[in-house]
Chain A
Amino acid sequence: MNYIFKRVAQSGLVLLVVGLVAFSMFRFMGDPIDNMLGQERTQEDVERLRDELGLDLPFPVQYWHFLSDAVQGNFGVSYRQGRAVSEIIAERIPATLELAAVSAVLAISLGIFLGVFTAIRREGWLANLIMSTSLIGVSLPTFLIGVMLIYFFSVYLGWLPSFGRGEAVQLGFWSTGFLTVSGWQALILPALTLGLYQMTLIMRLVRSEMLEVLRQDYVRFARARGLSERAVNFRHALKNTLVPVITVIGLQLGSIIAFAIITESIFQWPGLGLLFINAIQFVDIPVMAAYLMLISVIFVTINLAVDLLYVVIDPRLREGGK
């Protein structure tokens, strides 16, 4: 209990610190008044805006205002687009989440399958081929994989689109690319690019865990009992490899969102990552600050969830705790 409380408090602290960084960006990077009013302005305008924005209040009070605004999803107005940041972000979220979800499913299912396969057929040529290919996959930079895929499938074969999201269907506030053929076509290459790295990671982990488990006595007993290979491999062995695998998958969800920045930028996928890269290029501070806050909430939540999952799985952490 004490441990859980400590972890939650720690996460809260992290968010406060990140909030402070985001707020300082707002407050000290250039004069907000300059940014908002432009060239033609009068002294009264400046005074009025300063009053409206609360820039004459003490720093902690301003920070408090920023935080309470942020919690309500209010991050001000984008310098570049002149629209509310929250509106822009809400617009971009579906694209990123759909991309991340598809690549996560791809990475997890293929990763586990290939991991089990290479562990069972350890000596087979196909398994060896997969293993050496995965080594290349780990050391290749993500953006090169994307560029290579575009070259092969879009330029050379001309099968798949190289940019954009295809046709999206609006379902209430959520725009989805899942309902059209062009949406799925556009999704394939970005999802592959984004999922490949995580896939190799999961595959290698599952393989090494499986090799460890397959050596143990209960697996031999299961075989001796005459169970089929499939039952032994999947019901007995794979199940016991899943604890570390779930942890890694949880932590990888965060990096999928981070790597989405790269993938989205290669494929001009209209999601949050592309928004963030453009914000950096054009020094659009409100967007940067909002993205920073959003991403840290996601990361901190994932980490907290994984840590709490540990407590559920590992009873030693429950009593006393380290």
Chain B
Amino acid sequence: MLTRFCSKWSCLLPERIRTALDSDFMWRLSRSPVAIVSFVVFALLVLSAVFAPWIAPFNPYDPASLDLMNGFTPPATANDFTGQRFLLGSDDQGRDVLSTILYGMRISLFVGFSAVLFAMVLGISLGLIAGYLGGWVDTVIMRIADVQLTFPSILVAMLIFGIAKGVMPAEYRDQMAIWVLIISIGLSDWVQFARVVRGATLVEKGREYVMAAQLIGQPTPIIMWRHILPNVLSPVLVIATISLALAIIAEATLSFLGVGAPPTQPSLGTLIRIGQSFMFSGEWWILLFPACTLLALAFSVNLLGDWLRDTLNPKLR
């Protein structure tokens, strides 16, 4: 589907779209209402996160727009003092909950996507190297993977986060927290990718096209990246989708526990952490709406991942 070539971009584009819409994949998508719904929900959430600065009714991180008098306004009712209305209510500082959710989702999604990307690049490279080179390189990489698999990934992420926090000077901690979060979630999740890619590489290694490339004297890195890599990528897509759901949940969990996104850049997990403290005093909306958003996000990605796995796995067809 993607390997077809055409010399002119103009002739490629319409045809490509036509083939894409006509493909088996799209046909299966149109047959699965669950997949369509979860795809639409996910796309809506991502779009609203990306365009948060334009669609959010307020900018929750602009101190000038905050008014403490607006604090604790219930959803869709006028504030007693200022008469200001908030669709999903406001928090203790008078911030609009809807806007904090939109901005928080940006951070959650950014961390999720970046962590998966990082894990993917690391896992694919190591898996490819281990599978193609074999020998002691393979043994070392896969032993490390085995050892890491014995520990739950959330624990690994916490440990890496803790260590990184200790290494960094105190004044950078809040600033760098997001990046540390990405690296620690990414590092806790590369093993899946490495295992799958290694397995697929072992199969591809014996194929004729690889032998042909070896015979005409192509250098090893070229064989690995140009010839083998494109052929081992399809299972990676499924793992990446499932990993995305896991990464979003992992980020939310870490932030909820107070070892993730700092209060200055709250993600959905941080918002839930904040909301939890108002649960007992009756301001339920500060907790409920971020929690529902996180659920919708995690659910839609999970369902999409399940559907992709069933669709791309020829055994289940």
Contacts and interface: CB of A to CB of B under 8 A. Distances in A.
Interface of A: 14, 17, 25, 28-30, 139-144, 147, 150-151, 155, 162, 254-255, 258-259, 261-262, 265, 276-277, 279-281, 283, 285, 288, 292, 295-296, 299-300, 303
B159 interface: yes
Contact of B147 (A17, A142, A276, A292): A17
A276 B280 CA distance: 26
B302 A255 contact: no
B151 A299 contact: yes
Contact of A258 (B151, B258, B291, B302): B151
A141 B252 contact: yes
A280 B257 CA distance: 10
Given A17-B147, A142-B253, A155-B280, A29 B166 contact: yes
B158 interface: yes
A25 B166 contact: yes
Given A25-B166, A139-B302, A279-B162, A147 B152 contact: no
State the majority secondary structure of interface residues on B: helix
Interface of B: 147, 150-152, 154-155, 158-159, 161-163, 165-167, 245, 249, 252-253, 256-259, 272, 276, 279-280, 284, 287, 291, 294-295, 298-299, 302
B257 A277 contact: yes
Nearest to A29: B166
A261 B158 contact: yes
Contacts of B166: 25, 29-30, 283, 285, 288
A166 B14 CA distance: 68
3 closest Cβ pairs, A-B complex = A280-B162, A258-B152, A29-B166
B258 A281 contact: yes
A143 B257 contact: yes
Nearest to B248: A141
Contact of A29 (B154, B167, B280): B167
B165 A280 contact: yes
Contact of A280 (B150, B158, B252): B158
B155 A295 contact: yes
B245 A303 contact: no
Contacts of B162: 279-280, 283, 288
A151 B277 CA distance: 11
A161 B161 CA distance: 31
Contacts of A140: 295, 298
Contacts of A299: 150-151
Nearest to A277: B257
